[in-house]
Amino acid sequence: MRDTRLNGAAQTANPLEAVVDGLEAAVYVADARSGETLFANRAFRALHGDDAVGQVLRGLIVPLPERGDYRVAPRGVEAQDAPCELFDGELLQPRTGRWYHVREQAVAWVDGRIVRLGIATDITERKKTAEIARQQEERIARTSRLVTLGEMASMLAHELNQPLAAIANYCNGCAARIQAGAPASSLLPAMQKAAGQAERAGKVIARIRAFVKKSEPHRRATSVAAILEEALVLVEIDARRRGIRLSVELDDGLPDVRADQIMIEQVLLNLTRNGLDAMSDAPDDARALVVKARRSGDHFVEIAVIDRGHGISGEGTEWVFQPFVTTRGEGMGLGLAICRSIIESHNGRLSVKPNPEGGAIFTFTLPIEETACE
Amino acid sequence: MSEVPSGAVQEAEVGQQVFVVDDDDAQRDSLVWLLESHGYAVRAFSSAEAFLAAWNGNFVGCLLLDVRMPGMSGLELFGWLARRNSALPVVFITGHGDVPMAVEALRKGAANFIEKPFSAEEMLRIVENCLAQEREGRTQRRNQADTAHRLAQLTVREREVLDLVIAGKLNKQIADVLGISIKTVEVHRARVMDKMGVTTMASLIRRVMSAGL
């Protein structure tokens, strides 16, 4: 063991060089004035070729800072200033598309001249991961605009309540005074204030309009698999946490549908969350949520969300789509009503029927791209 | 406030006021209008802090207090008043979802709460009840103080006689217990009735009992 290691070390000039050669980062030393490469470690040589030393490299493979990038001009560094930092930043090599974190320092070389000692680390993968994370965040943010539609409605309801309550107070007060025979002119300020409050309520409504307009659907050819994948990523986490099996049955060769992907994801999210909620007290063997997608006739794709929860009690099943109907304490009961209006705005249908095995089956259809009107 | 319509409820005793503390301008202003239209004297404040700045122990009536306000909250103001033994009853105005908070306030001695949105009728009824209770409470407290004061004027002997009278003893029994003559008992009794400001036995007993002494 000991021998092999010694042999390995003997192949290079000294142990320090062995360490530097062992680094994954590309390490190089270049003359601060001429730019001539004086030293390159193995990683650097692997990129630039074994003849890198002795050449003036212009960052063709590993991107090197250009003159304007330096905080201190390397040529101007005097012996007494070294060591000092020259550059620390991320650089893109446009030809290969790879990103490097590059750090250069001015140091005194073994022969006394000032050199640039550089370390370049390939951070392309890390960058990619960060980019994916950023895109995901963006997507979640877009989705959450819809997720919180119910909350938004609740907030607006509160904002409408304030002016309406004030109007009621002013009017009730006026009524009492009229009954008591107060002169009409004494009612004027209250009447004017009530009118002002009515305008305030009107503005709240205008804001709702603007919001709805902003979220008008952008319908285009969308893959059903993509919709399911995107929406169910979020649901999967939730399902696992609750000990519910989630399975997806997607028919082969499904055509694209004409849909606003985010809106349909929102519908799926709502339906699957409802399904999970319905099974919160279900026994182990019934803790399964199935999402099925298949072709329905010539013009539609049908997506079904099948749960084995408590099902829908009461007369018929249509009532669940009524706005402000809720079986849970929280929320405004707008989820399913909004889902239905989204599906109908896509010329599809959203319906529910009891699951013969217990629970409920929510099914919605979306038009296949070729058949889309317009 | 000066042009109070004559036909309005107006049962509020002179001196009683409805205090309104609410940060929402429209809510507060319209509430003041509504209350004044029904004959109440109203003082409004746009924050708990503003109310505190004006408050003194002589505020009489009831306080309509919004639970949620920026700065000092309604609950905090309530706690502050309670620590100063304020007798001003507090009615909380709560929004949607604040009911648990209101229940908590009730447990701590709030007079009542109204959930927004409320009808004028409901609000006026709660205010009226609250003011009536406040009047009653104040009368009772005044009577208690008066009775305590009168009791303090009695001599030791007179107090002994009073206790035995209330215990239902006859003059002869009292004379025996205290080792004095019936005549002397009668003199003490007359003095007790006089000092307590009553003319009948029944009112004497009622007065001493209701004072809880």
Each domain of chain A, given as residue ranges in start order, spans 2-122, 143-214, 220-371
Model confidence at B7, pLDDT cuts 50, 70, 90, reads very low
Query: Does A163 sit within 8 Å of B34, measured CB to CB?
Result: no
Model confidence at A137, pLDDT cuts 50, 70, 90, reads low
The answer to whether the beta carbons of residues A293 and A301 sit under 8 Å apart is: yes
The CATH superfamily label for domain A220-371 reads: Histidine kinase-like ATPase, C-terminal domain (3.30.565.10)
Stronger pLDDT, A294 or A318, i.e. the higher one = A294
Q: What is the DSSP letter of A277?
A: H
Buried b (16+ CB within 10 A) or exposed e, B6-28: eebeeebeeebbbbbbbbbebbb
Chain A interface, best mutation among B24, B37, B66, B68, by max A CB count within 10 A: B37
Note the CATH number of domain A2-122.
Answer: 3.30.450.20
- A123-137, A292-306, B50-64: least confidently modelled range: A123-137
The answer to whether the beta carbons of residues A317 and A311 sit under 8 Å apart is: no
- A39-43, A313-317, B152-156: least confidently modelled range: A313-317
Question: A-chain residues within 8 Å CB-CB of B118?
Answer: 165
Q: What is the pLDDT of residue A139?
A: 63
The pLDDT tens digits for A232-241 are: 877 887 788 7
Angle between helical axes of B99-107 and B74-83 (0-180°, round to 10): 0
Model confidence at A324, pLDDT cuts 50, 70, 90, reads low
What is this model's ipTM? 0.71
Stronger pLDDT, A315 or B181, i.e. the higher one = B181
Stronger pLDDT, A161 or A293, i.e. the higher one = A293
**Distance separating alpha carbons of residues A211 and A216, to the nearest angstrom:** 9
**Distance separating alpha carbons of residues B172 and B156, to the nearest angstrom:** 19
Query: Does B3 sit within 8 Å of A182, measured CB to CB?
Result: yes
Mean pLDDT of B157-176: 90
Tokens 């009728």, residue? B121
- What residues contact residue A176 under an 8 Å CB cut-off, 6+ apart? B5, B8, B34, B37, B38
Please state, rounded to an integer, the average pLDDT across all residues of chain A: 82
The pLDDT tens digits for A230-284 are: 888 778 877 887 888 899 999 988 999 999 888 888 888 888 988 888 888 888 8
CA triplet A150, A154, A159: central angle to 5 degrees? 145
**Distance separating alpha carbons of residues A299 and A293, to the nearest angstrom:** 14
CA distance A314 to chain B (A): 28
Query: Does A172 sit within 8 Å of B5, measured CB to CB?
Result: no
Q: What is the pLDDT of residue A132?
A: 78
- Asked whether residue A336 carries a pLDDT value surpassing 90, the answer given is no
CA distance A162 to chain B (A): 7
Model confidence at A338, pLDDT cuts 50, 70, 90, reads confident
Stronger pLDDT, A363 or A20, i.e. the higher one = A363
Mean pLDDT of A213-226: 79
H helix runs in chain B, sequence order: 25-37, 48-54, 74-83, 99-107, 120-152, 156-166, 171-178, 182-196, 201-210
In 10 A of CB B60, how many CB atoms? 18
The answer to whether the beta carbons of residues B20 and B44 sit under 8 Å apart is: yes
Q: Does domain B153-210 have CATH number 3.40.50.1000?
A: no
- A20-24, A126-130, A330-334, B138-142: least confidently modelled range: A330-334
Model confidence at B9, pLDDT cuts 50, 70, 90, reads very low
Model confidence at B12, pLDDT cuts 50, 70, 90, reads low
Question: A-chain residues within 8 Å CB-CB of B24?
Answer: 162
Chain A interface includes B96 (CB < 8 A): yes
Stronger pLDDT, A17 or A100, i.e. the higher one = A100
- Asked whether residue B58 carries a pLDDT value surpassing 60, the answer given is yes
Mean pLDDT of A154-172: 85
Query: Does A186 sit within 8 Å of B30, measured CB to CB?
Result: no
**Distance separating alpha carbons of residues A134 and A148, to the nearest angstrom:** 21
Mean pLDDT of B145-155: 89
Q: Which of B3, B7, B27 has the CB atom closest to A166's CB atom?
A: B27
- Asked whether residue A100 carries a pLDDT value surpassing 80, the answer given is yes
**Distance separating alpha carbons of residues B32 and A173, to the nearest angstrom:** 9
Mean pLDDT of A30-57: 87
Question: B-chain residues within 8 Å CB-CB of A160?
Answer: none
Q: What is the pLDDT of residue B96?
A: 66
Model confidence at A332, pLDDT cuts 50, 70, 90, reads low
Residues 16-55 of B with CB under 8 A from A: 24, 26-27, 29-31, 33-38
Q: Does domain B17-139 have CATH number 3.40.50.2300?
A: yes
Angle between helical axes of B25-37 and A149-179 (0-180°, round to 10): 30
Q: Is B66 helix (H, G, I), strand (E, B) or coil?
A: strand
- Asked whether residue A213 carries a pLDDT value surpassing 70, the answer given is no
- Asked whether residue A136 carries a pLDDT value surpassing 50, the answer given is yes
Please state, rounded to an integer, the average pLDDT across all residues of chain B: 86
- Asked whether residue B5 carries a pLDDT value surpassing 90, the answer given is no
Question: B-chain residues within 8 Å CB-CB of A162?
Answer: 24, 26-27
Q: Which of A163, A180, A182 has the CB atom closest to B26's CB atom?
A: A163
Query: Does A164 sit within 8 Å of B8, measured CB to CB?
Result: no
Query: Does A181 sit within 8 Å of B6, measured CB to CB?
Result: yes
Highest mean pLDDT (candidates A5-9, A194-198, A200-204): A194-198
Chain B interface, best mutation among A172, A174, A199, A203, by max B CB count within 10 A: A172
Stronger pLDDT, B17 or A310, i.e. the higher one = B17
Q: What is the pLDDT of residue B80?
A: 92
CA distance B43 to chain A (A): 16
Which residue, B130, B196, B117, B184, is CA-closest to B157? B184
Buried b (16+ CB within 10 A) or exposed e, A316-347: ebeebbeeeebeeeeebbbbbbbbbebbeebb
Domain assignments of chain B as residue spans, ordered by start: 17-139, 153-210
Question: A-chain residues within 8 Å CB-CB of B29?
Answer: 166, 193
Q: What is the pLDDT of residue A189?
A: 93
Alpha carbon dihedral A122, A128, A130, A136, in 10-degree steps, equals 180
Stronger pLDDT, B136 or A152, i.e. the higher one = B136
- Asked whether residue A373 carries a pLDDT value surpassing 50, the answer given is no
- The full 3-state SS of A196-216, as one line of letters, equals HHHHHHHHHHHHHHHHHHHCC
Tokens of A345: 């705005």
Q: What is the pLDDT of residue A211?
A: 63
Mean pLDDT of A80-105: 86
Minimum CA–CA partner of A181 in chain B: B5
Share of chain A above pLDDT 70, in %: 84
Q: What is the pLDDT of residue A65?
A: 84
Model confidence at B180, pLDDT cuts 50, 70, 90, reads very high
- Asked whether residue B1 carries a pLDDT value surpassing 80, the answer given is no
CA distance A206 to chain B (A): 20
**Distance separating alpha carbons of residues B35 and B27, to the nearest angstrom:** 12
Mean pLDDT of A39-57: 86
Query: Does A161 sit within 8 Å of B33, measured CB to CB?
Result: no
- A101-105, A177-181, A323-327: least confidently modelled range: A323-327
